[in-house]
Structure formats: C-alpha cells, structure tokens
Structure 1
Amino acid sequence: MRIHLSSVLVDDQDKALRFYTEVLGFVKKTEVPLGDARWLTVVSPEDRDGTELVLEPDSHPAVKPFKEALVKDGIPFTSFAVDDVHEEYKRLRALGVRFTQEPMEMGPVTTAVFDDTCGNLIQIAHQR
C-alpha cells in the first residue's frame, strides 16, 4: 500500500495553481473540468509519477470553520519535505511568501510554516 493522493483545501483553484506551481515549484499533472470546479493535481518535479496533491475546492460548509481554527491555532494543514529548510525559507521569502514560523530546530528536524495564500498554513521540514 502507498499514498497515491493527498489534498489541500483551497479557496480558489486558479490562485492555488499559480502559487503551488509558480512559487512552490510543483508541476501541474491533472486538470479535468467538473462543473464549477476541476479535478486539479500537482506533483513534485522530482517525482512526476509520485504522490499527487489535489488542489481541492473548500466549498463544503464544514471546511471554512475547520481551516480558520487551524490557522488561528497556528497548525499547518500539511507538511512538505525539503532538502534544506533554511535555504527554502530564504528562496520563498524572496518570492514574497509570508511565514508564520521561521526555521526552528526541533531535535533532528528543522521546520518552518508559511501561508499558502489559499487559507492554509503549510509546514516545510527536513531531517538531519
């Protein structure tokens, strides 16, 4: 068994696609129209056949309070692995990304948390 798909709940699929591809560097893999929304996925350019991230519309009534509570409490919705949190932090800051947690060493793991502009906090992490 392996993870095939994971989702991030976004308030605007077009804005999310721009952020996740142009800023974070993911690559669009799938785009299928489904009424007002799309089945829209991105993947890592390093593993185009790997786990897909669905940019899932957050239109369900339960989602907004859930996302707001996570952001209010500073809890990331998901985590992405990077080779070096400090370098990725510098790169993303230069692109205007707003961080809610600067790089922090926690034992063998370094993490940082940013706002994805789509209503989520996202963690980046690497393990030494």
Structure 2
Amino acid sequence: MSLQIAYAFLPHTDAEASLTFYRDVLGFEVRNDVGGGEWRWITVGPAEQPQTSIVLQPAVADPTITEEERRVVLDLVAKGSYGAVTLATDDLDATFARLEAAGAEVLQEPTDQDYGVRDCAIRDPAGNLLRINQLA
C-alpha cells in the first residue's frame, strides 16, 4: 500500500488576494476554481507536482455557524493559528527575496534552526502561516 498527500486545505478571507498570492507570487498553477464570491474554492499547486495540491477554501464555509463562531474562526485565521503549511525550495534566499519584494508579511527571515533546517516564515493574505524550508 502506498499513500501520498493529495490535498491540504487552507482558509482564505479574500479569494482574489489568495489567488494572486499563490499563482503570481508563489508561481503555483491554478488547477480548479469553483464557486463565487465568499463561497469560492481554488485549487493550486506546483506544476512539477501534479499529485499534490492546496485547496484555498472559504474560512467560514458552514452557513449554520453563529456570528460569534464566525468571529472566532476569522480571528484565528488572521493570527495564523488556523491553517499552516510548510513548503520547500532549492533556493531559500531567492524565494524569500521574491516574497518580500511582493509585500508578503514576513514573520522570520531565512534562519538556520537549531533542529537542522534552514527556513523562513511568512503569512499569506488570509494570515495563514507558511514556512519555507531550504532543500538539502
């Protein structure tokens, strides 16, 4: 038996801002774009990895949620406590420079971590935490 990661889900609070970030800044291809307005799901991923995708979904996709629950979820998303993903690149410094130049919110510049990884951390337009590791 073989298992692969097919999809990871991250919330968005502005579909167009998320699409622009993942497509134009990170360079991911758009694989699917369904729905509309605040009910829009966008599937993106690296062209060289067609089997692995990130689905950008509405942060609050449950119409039965209360206004208080909605506020709590949106607060968690904005703080980067709701969704996160770690990416990897063969040139961390160039990737970081491109993200910084595009206005990404920087949480940590490229750093050699005590646990043996060189990485950086940014937030996407919704606030999701993205860590980017240097490939060995």
TM > 0.5 fold call: yes
- Count how many residue pairs are aligned between Structure 1 and Structure 2: 124
Alignment of 1:105-116 (within 5 A): 105-106=112-113, 107-116=115-124
Q: Which residue is 1:121 aligned to?
A: 129
Any idea what the Cα deviations from partners look like across 1:49-71, whole Å, max 9, x if unmatched? 22110011102535224324545
Any idea what the Cα deviations from partners look like across 1:21-59, whole Å, max 9, x if unmatched? 011111100112278512310010222x22110011102
Q: Which residue is 1:103 aligned to?
A: 110
* TM-score computed with the length of structure 1 as normaliser: 0.82
* TM-score computed with the length of structure 2 as normaliser: 0.78
Q: Which residue is 2:65 aligned to?
A: none
In 2, Cα distance between equivalents of 1:15 and 1:80: 19
Structure number, greater radius of gyration: 2
Equivalent position SS for 2:127: coil
Closer, same or farther in 2 for the Cα pair 1:21/1:70, shift >3 Å?
closer
Equivalent position SS for 1:86: helix
- Of all paired residues, the percent bearing the same amino acid is 30
Residue ranges of structure 1 left out of the alignment (5+ in a row): none
Equivalent position SS for 1:93: helix
